[in-house]
Structures are given as structure tokens and as C-alpha cells.
Structure 1
């Protein structure tokens, strides 16, 4: 039985072209700025994201945390959405490393209300921490891969500019947002001061993310990357597939979006499963299994026996993520297998 892995778009294997690129990559010592492949990747990313400079980092979490460290000082505060990745999945790194306090704002489908953000920005008061950064996540993972509209980002960016507070974009799946809306990625990045994009979520590279912003910001970020042990040597072997991720793997994300919609509609029609189809904008499907009488973990255990993998997203919520290594036949098979499980539960 073939296992159909829908846990995350991070489980993909590099393409054959990526493997060849890794083998053939021209390398040098990146800490000295001498790895030509890393340099090409960073220049390409800066151009695509319309920023002055970019820096290769090992992961999205490292990129986000380096951004926080470069934007803030200990004892300050950052504003972010209540279920954002930085707050929810990065092991309290912002407090552990940067020494900053997080101020969370509940969003609607991942989007913070700009008026709430404006109210959260601190005034001058010795009793309060200074607001040092605002973070936006696009697409928003826990909201189901929903796209934060450019208009929302623009409004928050204007609030930040007025208050002299930088805005950082956790754009781990930013290219999904661009493909889903038919907009150039620059439409989103024009309204942030810094942005992190992930090469291994959806784009198929085996490792790595990029952080981009002004030259001055990236210079500060390089110091923090070094302090965190992120200085790399002959890193061209992992940067090479990143170049292919940005040049060859973006447009095909539309296939993942189509697969997610196919899966979502099929699951929504199964007795006991609930899917908010309005949230299925990209490659993430969140399913509520409470009406089956099973917990998320129990349901996942049952479908795993049928060769389908997902992850728990709460007591009764299950997440499925489509990606390049799951084709249309796999989606059809996954639907059939899950349907068998649901039928057995309902008997």
C-alpha cells in the first residue's frame, strides 16, 4: 500500500534537477561571502522580493527570529496575530533570544484588524514597553492557508510607518498567496520592511529560507545569524536547489491549490466531517471530525492504517496539506481511503 503523506508540504523530496544542481554547485566559504551559489540565490531573492538585499538562513524559524533580533532590543514588544507561527510554533524564541514581549491580536481568518493594530501600538509611557515590530503571516497556516489581502497589509504598513515601527512578513508560504490571487509577489512585499520566505514549504527545496530587507537591516541580520550559529561554509550545495525552487517551482503551486480544493469538497460531503470551504484558498485543508465522535488523534490513527497521513490541529481538527509529491491519483486514493474510514465509523 502506497503511503499518501499529507502532513505538510515540508515532506517533499528534491527534484532530480535539484539533486543535480546540488552535486554540481560551485561553492566557497559563505561566512567570507565567497560562495557564488549562495550569492546568486540571495541576489535572485532580493530581486524577486523587491528588496535591497537578502540572506540565506537555515529555516523559516531562524529567518523570523533573526528578523526580530535585528528589529528589536530586549524589553520591547512585538505585535502579532494570536495564532501566528512566530507565536504558536517557534518555542517562545522571541522571548528566549530577543528578550521581547509578544502582544497578540485575534485575527479573522488570520488577518488582524488594522484598527486593533493601531490601538495596540504603545505610546510614550515609562510603564509600557516600546512597540518595536509588527508581524504579519501570509499565507496564514492555522487559519487554513488563507491569504491576507494586500489591502490589509497596506493598512497595517501605514500604521507602522506613522508610528515608526517596522513591519515583518512571515512569508513562509508567500508564493502560495501570490499564485492564489494572481498577483506578483511584490504586491505583498511592498508593504513590509522585512520578509522571510521558505524554500522547503511547497517549493520543493530540501532546506533553507531567505530573509530580505534593506542593506542596513541585512547587515544587522548577518551578525545575529552568526550569533545563532547560522554562519555557513560551502553552502552552495544547499543553496543551488533554492535557486531552482524560485525559478521553476512557483507556478506549479496552482496544482496544489486545485488538489486541496478537490480534497476539501470531497471531505465536506462525507457524513461526520466538516470543512469550511471558504478558507481553502491555497494548499491547506482543515477538517473538523467532532461529529464522528472521534478526537483528531483517534481519527488520524484510523486513516493512518489506511495509508493516509495528516496532523492534529486541535482536539477535533485535522490538517491536510497538498504538495508536489502528491498527484491527482494520490488525492483520489486518499479520498477513497478516508471515505472507507468514515463509513466504518458511521456503521
Structure 2
């Protein structure tokens, strides 16, 4: 085990062995054991809001709880009733300024600023860090910045992205050093101004960048005077998976981007934190690039409600998968494929799968209150999140194993 992540060899805690041993046998009366209708009333973990239109109790398909429109509206309405909320003016003042200060303090940075998207947060951070001369930026080959933003850093910001990746989801200090040597000895100098590291990496099923690689690259960047940016969209997941706190991750980098919509129960939003000299004036760049929303307060209010307990929530969530996955594997209905440096996503490979059967399994799981992700061939890459804590591990194992009998 590394932090809280599953490595396929864990042993359920003593308190769970008795219940889980039953789940690993032939399914018994599932309906009697589960005691749920197909459309349960759910008490969402982010507050005392009873939801009646949710089709699942446990969401294995995303990093967040996937609140329905009704659930989000009810939560927002309750929070507005519970405290005085002052609206912002294009991101300035009110609860938005308060939220930004809280995020900055949590990350150990001088300032923070709300952004409508992570794409814009990353673009503006790298543009500021690179400065006017050193416009080359090192990123991972599988990074979101390189693959999922339509070349925005190049086309909009005039940056030159250098893609490296020589060790699983990340790159080594040796690879960075070789690139620095190559760029500094070219006929025309084109120095690197910033290094960006994304961890976990979405395109690799949230695989973590090895901590020794992060530390070595950061040390090299500091020695060479190169600015450092953390694409920490899922940094709370990384912290729970590795045992390295969110603050410790943030301390390594000059700037940090954190996603809000991925796991703070809001429909959009991001936050960028860093030195005051970097963040100062970014509200103008935010508006210049189409991100000047009239009001951000509905995002700041709900995300702020989740923020304080988020790190502990993820630690609790990632303690749940090991016994559940062990039980699924022991049932013989699926296997948990080996996967290096996982965070919160686990490959459940179904025995004797075909597309029709995978569809039946997904439907059977949903009927039992469990939402599975879209399958990739014979594999469901299931995600842990706060919804795993809504029911006991043996209960969740029963539901999944029953669905696998389709």
C-alpha cells in the first residue's frame, strides 16, 4: 500500500473480515441485504439535503458526488438561508474574496483567484511564470495542458510546450536536465521558463507521478531558476493516495491550480494560487480571455462549504476501496488488474465479458443503487469518492458482485 491506494494485496481490517467473507461467497438474497429501492432517497455528504431524484447511492463513475440539478439547487438555497451572502462584482468582493483567501491559506500561498475553468487557470499561470523571454514550458506528454486544451498555450499565449514523459505518468530529473542542455546549447538560445507537473494524470486513469520524480524535478528547477507550476486539479486525491498533504504538495510549486467542479459539488470553476506578484492583476487577464463572469458567488459558496473537510473526506474515501476490491477479486467474477501508482481509479476486469453483458452489468448495478462508468472493453475503471462512505464496504461489495452475475 502507498498512502490509501489499493495495490491488490491488502487485507481487510479485522472489523470487516466477518462481513466481507460473506460477500465473497455466492450471493444470497440481495434485495433483503441491500434494503434499497432503485431510486433511493440520498443524504448527500456535503450537507443535510435529502435528494429524491438521484438514481444511485454510490457513484463509481466520477471524482465527485455528481449532484443532480435539484440537489445542487437545494444545497445552494440552504446555504444562502444559513448565512448572509454578499454577491461579488465580476469576481471582486463578497464571499468570493473570502473564499479566495481561504484557499490561499490552505495552500500556503499569498493570493488566490477564482477562474471559470482549469484551462484558463493553467494558461494564465504558465504565461505569468514564463515571463517575456523564457517562453518554453515543460509538460507531460499525457498532460491535460498538452492534449485537451486545443493548443491554447501556443495559439493564445505564444508559449512553446516541450513534452517529456520517461517514467510512467511523469518525467525524471534526468529527462529535464537533458532537455535543458539541448535548449541552452542550440544555435539560438531558447531557454525553459517553467515546468508544469500534473498529478494524478487523468489520461492515465489518474495515475500518480512518482513522488521521488516530483521532488527531484522540483530541486532541479530551483537550482536552474525555473518557475514551477502544479496542475493540481485533483491534488486532494493525490494527497489522500500518497499521505503527502495538500499543503506539502503546494509548497513545492510557485503556483497551483485546483479544480472546484471535479469534487466540490459545483457545476464549474477553478482556483489558481501563488505569489502576490503572480496573481496581481490576473482579474484583467481573466476578463480579457473571456472569463469575466458577472458573478462567481454561487460557486464560492458551495465550494467553500465543502473545502474545510475535503482533505479528510478524501482520506476516508480512499480507505474504502481495498476491502471492496479484495472481495470482488475473491468472488471470481472479476479481477483487479495490476496498476502502478494508482490514486482513486481501479480497473475491474470482468470475466467472460462482451458488450451486451457489460451493459447488463451496468444496468444491474444501477438498479442496486451503484452507478458504474462506461466500460472500456472488458474493464470498468471504477472511481472512489465521497459516496463510498454512504454505505458499508460489505454492502457495496454485495451490490457489485450481484451485478456481475448478469
Instruction: Pick the TM interval, shorter chain.
Output: 0.7 to 0.9
Change (3 A) 1:86 1:323: same
> How far apart are residue 212 of structure 1 and its match?
0.8
In the other structure, the counterpart of 2:114 is 56
> How far apart are residue 40 of structure 1 and its match?
0.8
Q: Match for 1:273 among 313, 335, 344?
A: 335
CA distance in 2, matches of 1:203, 1:109: 28
Higher RCO, 1 vs 2 (CA within 8 Å, ≥6 residues apart): 2
Pairs aligned (count): 338
Check the 8 A contact 1:67/1:221 in 2, yes or no.
no
- CA deviation digits over 1:21-58, x for unaligned, max 9? 34642113135x3x221111111111111111111112
In the other structure, the counterpart of 2:87 is 27
CA distance in 2, matches of 1:115, 1:254: 32
Change (3 A) 1:233 1:259: same
CA distance in 2, matches of 1:187, 1:343: 44
Correspondences of 1:142-221 after superposition (within 5 Å):
142-148=203-209, 150-219=211-280, 221=282
> How far apart are residue 167 of structure 1 and its match?
1.3
Greater CA deviation, 332-341 or 155-164? 332-341
In structure 2, runs of 5+ residues without a counterpart are 1-37, 40-54
Matched, 1:227 2:288: yes
Check the 8 A contact 2:88/2:94 in 1, yes or no.
yes
Greater CA deviation, 245-254 or 14-23? 14-23
> How far apart are residue 227 of structure 1 and its match?
1.7
- CA deviation digits over 1:205-260, x for unaligned, max 9? 44322101111211253333112211233322321122222213331112221233
> How far apart are residue 305 of structure 1 and its match?
2.0
Matched, 1:303 2:357: no
Q: Match for 1:243 among 274, 295, 304?
A: 304
- CA deviation digits over 1:177-226, x for unaligned, max 9? 22344443221111111100122323334432210111121125333311
What SS does the aligned partner of 2:113 have?
Answer: strand
Greater CA deviation, 149-158 or 228-237? 149-158
In the other structure, the counterpart of 2:386 is 324
Greater CA deviation, 145-154 or 115-124? 145-154
Change (3 A) 1:50 1:333: same
Check the 8 A contact 1:12/1:323 in 2, yes or no.
no
Check the 8 A contact 1:265/1:277 in 2, yes or no.
no
Q: Higher Cα Rg: structure 1 or 2?
A: 2
What SS does the aligned partner of 2:195 have?
Answer: strand
Check the 8 A contact 1:204/1:324 in 2, yes or no.
no
CA distance in 2, matches of 1:80, 1:316: 31
Greater CA deviation, 106-115 or 328-337? 328-337
> How far apart are residue 120 of structure 1 and its match?
2.2
Instruction: State TM-score, norm by structure 2.
Output: 0.71
In structure 1, runs of 5+ residues without a counterpart are none
Greater CA deviation, 188-197 or 313-322? 313-322
Greater CA deviation, 62-71 or 261-270? 261-270
Matched, 1:39 2:66: no
- Root-mean-square deviation over aligned CA pairs: 3.3
Change (3 A) 1:302 1:313: closer
CA distance in 2, matches of 1:15, 1:285: 31
> How far apart are residue 107 of structure 1 and its match?
4.8
Matched, 1:9 2:70: no
> How far apart are residue 171 of structure 1 and its match?
0.8
Instruction: State TM-score, norm by structure 1.
Output: 0.82
